[in-house]
């Protein structure tokens, strides 16, 4: 069977042996995310026709205005995972605390926890810009048969067993890794099936795109300012092209295909950084590294950072390896 005819379900079955320690649960988690993504995709594509755009008038734990689609996507992913009784805990960017899956003895015997940003870039929904879902899967560290604790979620990124994202754009794609490379699957909306469209996705070692909100330039650390000037210099391989969508998944997806670096540094407004380590940076760092790229906080490997809180924020730089290496030299 050619790659373009291979469905996500067939791919999961063929690669079942890659899932260490798993007796089918991890495959079922990926399948659940696939199902929830299809439901959310349907709503995203109807956003201009139904009362699903705009804010709900509430804020999430980070103090950000919740969009209607934020709430909807959060509920869909959580309920899909709970209904299938395949995880013992869930943490979402939209929830103050983690969720312990209760209701049966079996729930406490499940091996995995899922962390997610159910709808990244949702503020762009109203203007018809691509948005995404980010997810991360860890094997629990507390004993089977007991309720999950905070420790199950505060694990460094190197402990991830799977991670990925869904991008809802001109086409809907699910991109994920289980530590054996990165593969992308595109949804055929006519029949509701994801097909392998981007096998073995890889970052070019060098790129010509830098992605940063330059409107915050004056608030950036000096090292980031110097790197941006470096990107703009007239040299043999520069200036680089500035491309910034403002949807994290979209920016990183583009840079993985074309080659580039994404920057979200600290600033005077956000001295600890803006992006969440557990819901955004760790899962995307896993994908980026598996695709041959690099993810850093400017000095340290993202996936080696020890989380200290559920909604921890950090600076985030990722993309083509040589570009991130150069950025780190400016941060010394």
pLDDT digits (tens, 9 = 90+) for 131-156: 999 999 999 999 988 999 999 999 99
Annotated binding site: 93, 117, 119-123, 213, 244, 262-264, 274, 280
70 pLDDT exceeds 70?
A: yes
Cis check for the bond before 239: say yes or no (omega within 30 of 0): yes
DSSP tag of 64: P
No. of helices (H) and no. of strands (E), the chain: 8, 17
For the ranges 53-62, 105-114, 181-190, 299-308, which has the lowest average pLDDT? 53-62
Tokens found for residue 112: 């995995």
Residue 292: which residues within 8 A CB-CB, separation 6 or more? 202, 203, 205, 321
Annotated binding site for Mg(2+): 93, 117, 119-120, 280
DSSP strand pairing (131-139 vs 112-120):
antiparallel
55 pLDDT exceeds 60?
A: no
For the ranges 99-108, 131-140, 241-250, 314-323, which has the lowest average pLDDT? 99-108
Q: Which residues of 70-94 are buried (b: 16+ CB within 10 A; e: fewer)?
A: bbbbbebbbebbbeebbbbbbbbbb
Q: pLDDT tens digits for 320-331?
A: 999 999 999 999
* 103 or 243, greater pLDDT: 243
Q: How confident is the model at residue 66 (pLDDT cuts 50, 70, 90)?
A: low
Annotated binding site for substrate: 120-123, 213, 244, 262-264, 274
Residue % of the chain over a pLDDT of 90 = 73
56 pLDDT exceeds 80?
A: no
Q: Tell me the Cα Rg of the chain.
A: 19
Mean pLDDT of the 12-40 span: 83
Structural domains of the chain ordered from first start: 3-198 (3.30.540.10), 209-330 (3.40.190.80)
Tokens found for residue 139: 């094997």
pTM confidence score:
0.93
């Amino acid at each position: 069977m050619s790659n373009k005819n291979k469905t996500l379900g067939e791919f999961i079955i063929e690669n079942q042996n890659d899932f260490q320690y798993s007796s089918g649960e991890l495959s079922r988690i990926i399948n659940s995310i696939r199902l929830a993504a299809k439901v959310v995709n349907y709503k995203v594509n109807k956003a201009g026709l139904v009362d699903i755009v705009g804010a709900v008038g509430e804020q999430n734990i980070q103090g950000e205005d919740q969009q209607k689609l934020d709430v909807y996507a959060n509920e869909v992913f959580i309920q899909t995972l709970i209904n299938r009784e395949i995880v013992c805990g869930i943490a979402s960017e939209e929830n103050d605390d983690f969720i312990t899956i209760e209701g049966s003895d079996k729930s406490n015997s499940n091996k995995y926890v899922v962390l997610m940003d159910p709808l990244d870039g949702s503020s762009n929904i109203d203007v018809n810009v691509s948005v995404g879902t980010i997810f991360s899967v860890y094997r629990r560290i507390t004993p089977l048969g007991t309720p999950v604790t905070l420790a199950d979620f505060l694990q460094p990124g190197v402990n991830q067993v799977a991670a990925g994202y869904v991008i809802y754009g001109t086409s809907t794609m699910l991109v994920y890794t289980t530590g054996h490379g990165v593969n992308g699957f595109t949804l055929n909306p006519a029949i509701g099936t994801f097909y392998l469209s981007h096998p073995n996705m890889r970052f070019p070692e060098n790129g010509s795109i830098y992605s940063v909100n330059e409107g915050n330039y004056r608030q950036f650390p000096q090292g980031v300012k110097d790197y941006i000037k470096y990107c703009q210099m007239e040299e043999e391989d520069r200036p680089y092209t500035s491309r910034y969508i403002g949807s994290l998944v979209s920016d990183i997806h583009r840079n993985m295909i074309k080659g580039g670096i994404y920057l979200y540094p600290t600033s005077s407004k956000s001295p600890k950084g803006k992006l969440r380590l557990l819901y955004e940076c760790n899962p995307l760092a896993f994908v980026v590294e598996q695709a041959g790229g690099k993810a850093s906080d400017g000095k340290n490997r993202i996936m080696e950072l020890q989380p200290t809180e559920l909604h921890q924020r950090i600076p985030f730089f990722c993309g083509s390896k040589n570009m991130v290496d150069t950025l780190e030299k400016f941060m010394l």
